[in-house]
Chain A
Amino acid sequence: MIRVQREDFDIGAEIRALTEGRTEIGGVASFVGLVRDFVDDGGAEGSTAIRGMTLEHYPGMTEKMLSRIEQEANRRWPLDASLIIHRYGALAPGDNIVLVVCAAAHREDALQACSFLIDWLKTKAPFWKSEDTGDGGRWVKAKDSDDALAARWEDR
């Protein structure tokens, strides 16, 4: 199941709803992405404080890509249930951005599928972050390290 929404989500409630009555499930892995209050600038410059961020997305393509990524996870691992929730709009430090949950009979399938989903959605789902550093917004650059994390799943 995938959801793209402006509203916050309740992690406990989402996991309960996913696993309720599903006694074949032996393990649940989750990842929660949060808004940090700083960005690394690298090198001696240290970090810059951020006041919040705005997430823009491509309605329609976002849902299509998230569904496809979720289907791919279910093709690779025997999952009993999976969930991706991604927020958009204005967010403050500490706010939830994204939730990925994978449930399986065995923990290794759940953990690997969860790791795969977050790596792939970072490079394949059409979201863009603009950070507010106090002197206007600045668009976040994509990181080569994210491409490398996603690429390690390519030949599977």
Chain B
Amino acid sequence: MKLVYFAWVRTRIGHAEEDVALPDGVATVADLLNWLAGRGGGYAEALARRDLVRVAVNQEFAGPDTAIGDGDEVALFPPVTGGGAMEGSA
């Protein structure tokens, strides 16, 4: 499986992408995040606030129950912040 990371998920983990072999029992997005967090270090740090991490499977937004497999591209990133200065006051 190809994993890609963006923004502070990328800087905390320390690299932009990697190929991983999924261990048995990792069948959903939630399983994957738990397994990655269990690697410790930057992975644990990036995944400490699970509610702030968004996931895309094959470039489609995905939820915790989305099924994943070895041929998939899974992206982990923070909530998106594109566009121009149209925000209300913070």
Contact = CB atoms under 8 A, between A and B. Distances in A.
A56 B6 contact: yes
B80 A125 contact: yes
A1 interface: no
Contacts of B85: 33-36
B59 A123 contact: no
Contacts of A121: 82-83
Contact of B81 (A31, A86, A128, A145): A128
Contacts of A40: 89-90
Q: How large is the interface on A (under 10, 10 to 19, 20 to 34, 35 or more residues)?
A: 35 or more
A122 B7 CA distance: 16
B81 A140 contact: yes
Interface of A: 31-36, 39-42, 55-58, 60-61, 64, 86, 97-98, 118-119, 121-130, 139-143, 145-146, 149
Closest 8 CB pairs of A and B: A33-B84, A127-B82, A142-B79, A128-B7, A122-B83, A61-B59, A145-B88, A40-B90
Given A57-B6, A145-B87, 12 more contacts: A42-B90, A61-B75, A86-B82, A86-B83, A118-B83, A126-B77, A126-B80, A128-B80, A140-B81, A142-B78, A143-B90, A149-B86
23 contacts: A33-B84, A33-B85, A34-B84, A40-B89, A42-B89, A57-B82, A58-B6, A58-B59, A97-B83, A97-B84, A98-B84, A121-B83, A122-B81, A125-B82, A126-B6, A126-B75, A127-B80, A127-B82, A128-B81, A129-B81, A139-B7, A141-B79, A143-B87
